Chains A and B, each alone.
Chain A
Amino acid sequence: MDLEEAKEFKERCTQCAAVSWGLTDEGKYYCTSCHNVTERSKEVINTEDIPNTKIKAINRGLKRKKKLEKGWDWYVCEGFQYILYQQAEALKSLGVGPELKNEVLHNFWKRYLQKSKQAYCENPIYITRKKATVLEDNLSHSDWSSEPELLSDVGCPSFVESGAESQSDTYSQKPFPLSSRASQSEMASSVCSGSLDGVEYSQQKEKGTVKMSVPRTLALCYLSLLWKRETITLSDLLRFVEEDHIPYVNAFQHFPEEMKLYGRDKRIFAVESWPDYEDIHKKTIEIATFLDLPRFPDITEDCYLHPNILCMKYLMEVNLPDEMHGLACQVIKMTGIGEVDFLTFDPIAKMAKTVKYDVQAVAIIVVVLKLLFLLDDNFEWSLSNLAEKYNKKNKKDKPWFDFRKWYQVMKKTVDEKKHKWEEARAKYMWKSEKPLYYSVIDKPVVYKRRDMVVNLQKQFSTLVGWTPAVEKTRPSSFQFNWTEEDTDRTCFHGHSLQGVLKEKGQSLLTKNSSYWLSTQKFCKGYCKHLTTYEESNFSLSYQFILNLFSFLLRIKTSLLHEEVSLIERKLFKNKYSRTKKKSRRSRKARRH
Chain B
Amino acid sequence: MSDFSEELERSVTKDDQVKRSVPCGTGMHFPWLQSYIETVVIGGKKKKDFAQTTSACLSRIQEALLKHQWWRAAEYTHSYLQTLEDSDGYKRHAAPEIIWKLGSEILFYHPKSNVETFSTFAERMKNIGVMNYLKISLQHALYLLHHGMLEDADRNLSHAETWRYGEKSSSQQVLINLVQAYRGLLQYYNWLTKKKELSKLDKQDYAYGTATRSMVNRSWKTSVNIGALIKIPGVWDPFVKSYVEMLEFYGDQDAAREVLTNYAYDEKFPSNPNAHIYLYNFLKRKKAPRAELLSALKILYQIVPSHKLMLEFHTLLRKSEEEEHHKLALEVLFGVLDFAGCTRNVTAWKYLAKYLRQTLMGNHPMWVQEQWSTRKNWWPNFHFSCYWAKRDWKEDTALACEKAFVAGILLGKGCRYFRYISKQDHEVLRKKIKRMKKSVKKYSIVNPGL
Contacts and interface: CB of A to CB of B under 8 A. Distances in A.
Do A and B interact with each other, yes or no?
Answer: yes
Nearest to B10: A534
A82 B429 CA distance: 103
B1 A456 contact: no
B84 interface: yes
B1 A428 contact: no
A272 B87 contact: yes
Interface of A is mostly: loop
Given A460-B77, A465-B75, A431 B82 contact: yes
B48 A461 contact: no
B411 to A, nearest CB: 61
Interface string B102-130: 01001100101100010011001001100
B212 to A, nearest CB: 47
Nearest to B47: A273
B2 A527 contact: yes
Given A427-B75, A453-B81, A274 B49 contact: yes
B71 A465 contact: yes
Interface string A444-477: 0010011011011101111111100000000000
Between B48, B51, B53, B70, the greatest number of chain A beta carbons within 10 A of the residue's beta carbon is seen for: B53
Contact of A463 (B53, B112, B128): B112
A336 interface: no
B6 interface: yes
Contacts of A450: 85
Nearest to A462: B112
A476 to B, nearest CB: 23
Contacts of A529: 1-3
A460 B78 contact: yes
B237 to A, nearest CB: 36
Contacts of B110: 463
A71 interface: no
A452 B78 contact: no
Nearest to A461: B78
Q: Among the interface residues A276, A429, A457, A464, which one has the most CB atoms of the partner chain B within 10 A?
A: A464
Instruction: Say whether chain B's binding surface is mostly helix, strand, loop, or mixed.
Output: helix
B60 interface: yes
A532 B1 contact: yes
A525 interface: yes
A221 interface: no
Contact of B78 (A435, A464, A532): A464
B57 interface: yes
B109 to A, nearest CB: 11
A428 B106 CA distance: 21
B124 A452 contact: yes
Contact of B60 (A270, A426, A558): A426
A462 B70 CA distance: 12
A431 B81 CA distance: 10
Given A452-B124, A463-B112, A464-B71, A435 B85 contact: yes
A525 B1 CA distance: 7
Contacts of B87: 270, 272
A453 B84 CA distance: 7
Nearest to B112: A463
A449 B6 CA distance: 42
B48 to A, nearest CB: 4
A522 interface: no
A502 interface: no
Given A456-B124, A463-B74, A527-B2, A273 B79 contact: no
A426 B74 contact: no
A16 interface: no
A466 B75 contact: yes
Interface residues of A, number: 38
Contacts of A301: none
A466 B120 CA distance: 22
Nearest to B1: A532
A461 B50 CA distance: 21
B94 to A, nearest CB: 14
Given A426-B76, A452-B124, A273 B82 contact: no
Contacts of B112: 462-463
A284 B403 CA distance: 90
Interface in B59-103: 60, 70-71, 74-79, 81-82, 84-85, 87, 99, 103
B56 A425 contact: yes
B48 A273 contact: yes
A428 B117 contact: no
Contact of B49 (A272, A427, A431, A459): A272
A523 interface: yes
Contact of A523 (B1, B53, B81, B117): B1
B89 to A, nearest CB: 11
A274, A429, A430, A534: most-surrounded residue (chain B CB, <10 A): A430
B74 A460 contact: yes
Interface in B114-156: 117, 120-121, 124, 127-128
A98 B50 CA distance: 34
B75 A455 contact: no
A428 B79 contact: yes
Contacts of A558: 3
Nearest to A456: B81
A429 B106 CA distance: 21
Nearest to A430: B50
A252 to B, nearest CB: 14
Given A431-B85, A464-B74, A426 B6 contact: no
Given A452-B128, A463-B106, A457 B81 contact: yes
Interface string B1-36: 111001000000000000000000000000000000
A456 B100 CA distance: 11
Nearest to A450: B85
A429 B128 CA distance: 20
Interface of A: 270, 272-274, 276, 422-423, 425-431, 435, 446, 449-450, 452-453, 455-457, 459-466, 523, 525, 527, 529, 532, 534, 558
25 contacts: A272-B49, A273-B50, A276-B46, A423-B60, A425-B53, A426-B56, A426-B57, A427-B76, A429-B82, A430-B82, A431-B82, A452-B84, A453-B84, A455-B124, A457-B78, A459-B120, A460-B78, A460-B103, A462-B112, A463-B106, A463-B110, A464-B75, A465-B75, A466-B75, A532-B6
Given A460-B81, A463-B74, 11 more contacts: A428-B79, A431-B85, A452-B84, A456-B81, A460-B77, A460-B103, A463-B106, A463-B117, A464-B78, A527-B2, A532-B6
Closest 9 CB pairs of A and B: A272-B50, A463-B74, A273-B49, A427-B79, A426-B57, A527-B2, A460-B78, A426-B56, A272-B48
